[in-house]
Copies of this chain bind each other. A is one copy, B any other.
């Protein structure tokens, strides 16, 4: 597939996934304070410009999820960096979405994961080395390496615990955005 065909496919999958998300009122229960982003990278991404996301993230308007802007390359920061690091260990996980973390959602996800025989990963921010917290070394590589080492691979679902100034979040990974949105919708319907 040509470079251009890959770009088109990435944007199209995000558009299809967002169209599904915007019809699901229940998904608003999973949108965190920092809002949701949904990202999808080209195969073998090398930098943020290879990862597409939703410009302005996904918020809640009139009781429904709403993509603030359209899918574009280079518009995501946090989730794009996560996917870039994840791609080093598990290249097939090219799509990801971040959702809210709370006790109720934790219970639903634990049950869902058990049914699906999935492990739920944890990034315990309290174990982050000071150098990383202070920004002397980069935080994301530490996080993903921690995740990989402590779980013997990259789990399809993981959460970051709260940090100082940082909201706790779940992340759902998958091969493409339609897959991660469909899983998110299943989870939201149980919350």
Contact = CB atoms under 8 A, between A and B. Distances in A.
**Nearest 6 A/B pairs, CB to CB:** A12-B12, A162-B165, A8-B12, A61-B69, A56-B61, A11-B12
B162 A15 contact: no
Given A34-B33, A164-B164, A16 B22 contact: no
B165 A22 contact: no
Interface string A4-38: 01011111111110110011000000000111000
The A contact surface, by secondary structure, is mixed
A70 interface: yes
10 contacts: A7-B16, A8-B12, A12-B12, A33-B167, A35-B35, A56-B68, A57-B59, A67-B70, A165-B168, A167-B167
Contacts of A129: none
A166 interface: yes
Contacts of A33: 33-34, 167
Interface in A70-116: 70-72
